[in-house]
Amino acid sequence: MRELTYNEAAVEAVAEEMRRDPKIFYMSTDPIGPLLREFGAERVRATPITEAALTGMAIGAAGSGFRPIVDWRQVTFCFVAMDQIVNQAAKIHYMFGGQVSFPILYRAAVGGGGQVAAQHSQSPYSMFMNVAGLRMFLPSTPHDIKGLMKTAIRDNNPVISFESSRLMTRKGPVPDEDYTIPLGQADIKREGSDVTVVALAWLVHEALAAAEELAQEGILVEVVDPRTLVPLDAQTIRTSVQKTGRLVIADEAGPTAGFSAEIAAVVTEDGATFAQLKAPVKRVCALQVPIPYSPVLENHVFPDRQRIITGIREVLHGRRSTAAA
């Protein structure tokens, strides 16, 4: 199968959908070259740096029959548009009794690792998960981002595509033929019977590397990639934990009220899954700090395969889970 980078696969998804549906148009502060060349400046708009307006304009255009895509680029740039996201996009369909739909795709790069410091590195998806009315996903492979993005563009709701900065140039197989991946469907990236690792984005790859390493010792790790954050595929996660009896959650975001907390709750509040747990749930997350610049500091803040391995050993030996690290 041919290989594309994560970023190329995302752009290909957008291009294919734009070819299919003339109502789709794209707005960002610096347009993506190939899209601009193919679709022209009318449909691929270079905008002023005014994310609040763009985010809101997408709502109005969507409610008027178009299917806008707004590329916030770094997720931190969309914080200037929080009113439009939280008060408007998320609530408008519900608040007005579902009169019309608002099909919008918002794109945002998340994560760290580039030494670009606190205002250009963040993984704030749980802030958005907390808002009713927004769907969102965060894929780990070129294959998944393409399939999920196509579904999201066809969805009749505001959907946020969180995209991992660390994975942008990472290659992977992408089928030639048209395909989509439904929202709300987790993917088991590796099967195993001793411990479940639920990981997102870049940490899926770190978890797979950890699983490979531990396989040498006969420890069989199952890696579950939720892919979609809202709606969350709780069933796949619970089924996996019922099988292994042990859960490690790996997230590039901090632990507090985070995605990892949600996964822990989804697993432990379910009686059938709780009954199978052999050890406390372990979270392997970033430290709860803004992301620092210096590589020494930045590397210390983020979890990696080593910390995942440590977390796995901890749940295997049934030691008490200390505070999230």
Partner 1 sequence: MSLSTQSLSPNLPPDTQREMLRRMLTIRRFEERASDDYRAGKIYGVVHCYIGEEAVAVGVCSALDRGDRIISTHRGHGHCIAKGADLNRMMAELYGRQTGYCKGKGGSMHIADFGIGMLGANGIVAGGIAIVTGAGLAAQMEGKGGVAVSFFGDGASNAGPFHECLNIAATWKLPMLYVCENNMYAAQTPAAATHALSDVAARAAGYGIPGVVVDGNDIFAVYQAANRAVDRARSGDGPTLIECKTYRWRAHTERRGQPDLRDPAEVEMWKSRDPIAQLEHQLREQGYLDDTELQAVERDIMGAIEAAVTFAEASPFPSPEQATDDVFAA
Ligand X SMILES: Cc1ncc(C[n+]2csc(CCOP(=O)(O)OP(=O)(O)O)c2C)c(N)n1
**Residues binding ligand X (CB under 6 A):** 29, 49, 51, 77, 80
Active-site residue flag, 120: yes
**Contact at 8 Å (CB) between 136 and 228?**
yes
Active-site residue flag, 143: no
CB of 76 to ligand X, least distance (A): 7
| Residue 120 binds to partner 1 (criterion: CB under 8 A) | yes
**Contact at 8 Å (CB) between 81 and 29?**
no
Nearer to ligand X, 120 or 283 (CB): 120
| Residue 295 binds to partner 1 (criterion: CB under 8 A) | yes
Between CA 244 and CA 258 the distance in angstroms is 23
Which among partner 1, ligand X, none contacts residue 46 (Cβ within 5 to 8 A by kind)? Answer: partner 1
List 114, 124, 245, 280, residue binding partner 1 (CB under 8 A): 114
Between CA 158 and CA 181 the distance in angstroms is 17
Nearer to partner 1, 8 or 262 (CB): 8
CB of 54 to ligand X, least distance (A): 10
Nearer to ligand X, 3 or 30 (CB): 30
Nearer to partner 1, 120 or 143 (CB): 120
Between CA 227 and CA 149 the distance in angstroms is 11
Which among partner 1, ligand X, none contacts residue 297 (Cβ within 5 to 8 A by kind)? Answer: partner 1
User: Would you state the structure tokens that stand for residue 113, as one six-digit string?
Assistant: 């690792």
**Contact at 8 Å (CB) between 210 and 308?**
yes
Stretch of 8-16, 44-52, 131-139, 262-270 lying at the interface with partner 1 (CB under 8 A):
44-52
List 94, 289, 306, 319, residue binding partner 1 (CB under 8 A): 289
| Residue 49 binds to partner 1 (criterion: CB under 8 A) | yes
Between CA 54 and CA 34 the distance in angstroms is 21
Minimal CB distance to ligand X: which residue?
77
Between CA 154 and CA 149 the distance in angstroms is 9
Which among ligand X, partner 1, none contacts residue 299 (Cβ within 5 to 8 A by kind)? Answer: partner 1
CB of 260 to ligand X, least distance (A): 28
Measuring CA to CA, how many Å separate 39 from each of 7, 20, 32? 18, 12, 11
CB of 7 to ligand X, least distance (A): 17
Nearer to ligand X, 29 or 242 (CB): 29
Measuring CA to CA, how many Å separate 238 from each of 127, 193, 224, 265? 23, 13, 10, 11
Looking only at the bridges linking them, the beta strands covering 171-173 and 3-5 are antiparallel
| Residue 48 binds to partner 1 (criterion: CB under 8 A) | yes
The full DSSP string for 164-210 is: EGGGTT-EEE--SS-----TT--EEEE--SSEEEEE-THHHHHHHHH
| Residue 29 binds to partner 1 (criterion: CB under 8 A) | yes
Please state the three-class secondary structure of 78-141 as a single string.
HHHHHHHHHHHHCCHHHHCCCCCCCCEEEEEEEECCCCCCCCCCECCHHHHHCCCCCEEECCCC
Which among ligand X, partner 1, none contacts residue 156 (Cβ within 5 to 8 A by kind)? Answer: none
| Interactions with partner 1, residue window 169-198 (CB under 8 A) | none
Stretch of 190-198, 241-249, 288-296, 304-312 lying at the interface with partner 1 (CB under 8 A):
288-296
Nearer to partner 1, 93 or 120 (CB): 120
The full DSSP string for 258-305 is: SHHHHHHHHHHTSHHHHTT--S--EEE---SSPPPSSHHHHHHHS--H
CB atoms within 10 A of CB 196: 29
Residues marked active site are found at 51, 120
Which residues of this protein are in contact with partner 1, per CB under 8 A?
29-30, 33, 46-50, 52-53, 76-77, 79-80, 114-120, 287-290, 292-301
